[in-house]
């Protein structure tokens, strides 16, 4: 593939559905992104315990990651992404911010490589719609979460892969989750669910 065709493909993926192109990762770390949803606001919605073991699926270049890792000072954050290039950017970003309680894992969100009941909290920000099989992703998260653990899904309007809160809710409740909290604004929503204890 020639250079021009390569960048045409990147642009198509940027505008369309599917995995966000790592070549445009810098857009995801643009400071004004915080006007839509800041890391501080996301953390306030998720409320992780200081000792929580947290999974971030589709971390991209780590826009939210450093703040989330700092919110669990005696816990751990695992950043998970399908693109090794995104994980490399996230690793550099966290290292530059002095964050040491993070691990980086590459893989497919439809088949998470973690032991059952590993995490207290799993979150996705504008990612679930990009996953090839979103239902398989939710089921895989359910296995990886402890009973009573939290799944937090954030979607933003304008994203080509956006899912509605109703679609996310139906997917979650049919795969072993119970609705917990819903934060909605005109720009999007964060829906939290609890992994069923029974």
Give per-residue pLDDT as tens, 18-70: 566 566 666 667 676 777 899 999 999 999 999 999 999 999 999 999 999 99
pLDDT in tens, 77-102: 999 999 999 999 999 999 999 999 99
- What pLDDT does 31 receive? 75
15 within some domain: no
Q: How many domains does the chain have?
A: 1
- What pLDDT does 11 receive? 45
Per-chain mean pLDDT for the chain: 89
88 within some domain: yes
- What pLDDT does 198 receive? 64
84 within some domain: yes
Confidence check: pLDDT of 15 > 60? no
Which pair of tokens denotes residue 58? 């589709």
Q: Which carries the bigger pLDDT value, residue 175 or residue 7?
A: 175
18 within some domain: no
13 within some domain: no
7 within some domain: no
28 within some domain: no
Rounded-to-integer distance, Cα 89 and Cα 23, Å: 11
Domain span at residue 66 reads 33-195
Q: What whole-number percentage of the chain has pLDDT above 90?
A: 76
pTM (whole model) above 0.75:
yes
CATH at residue 174: 3.40.50.150
- What pLDDT does 4 receive? 56
14 within some domain: no
């Amino acid at each position: 593939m020639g250079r021009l065709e390569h960048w045409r493909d990147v642009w198509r993926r940027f505008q369309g559905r599917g995995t966000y192109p790592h070549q445009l990762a810098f857009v995801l770390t643009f400071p004004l992104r915080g006007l839509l949803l800041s890391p501080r606001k996301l953390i306030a919605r998720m409320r992780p315990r200081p000792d929580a073991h947290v999974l971030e699926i589709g971390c991209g270049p780590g826009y939210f990651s450093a703040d989330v890792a700092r919110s669990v000072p005696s816990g751990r954050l695992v950043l998970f992404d399908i693109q090794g290039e995104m994980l490399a950017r996230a690793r550099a970003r966290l290292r530059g911010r002095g964050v040491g309680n993070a691990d980086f894992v590459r893989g497919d969100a439809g088949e998470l490589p973690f032991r059952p009941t590993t995490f207290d909290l799993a979150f996705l920000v504008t990612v679930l719609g990009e996953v090839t099989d979103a239902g398989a992703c939710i089921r895989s998260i359910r296995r990886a979460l402890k009973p009573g653990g939290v799944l937090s899904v954030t979607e933003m309007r304008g994203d080509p892969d956006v899912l509605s809160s109703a679609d996310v809710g139906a997917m979650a409740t049919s795969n072993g989750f119970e609705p917990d909290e819903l934060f909605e604004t005109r720009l999007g929503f964060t829906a939290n669910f609890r992994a069923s204890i029974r």
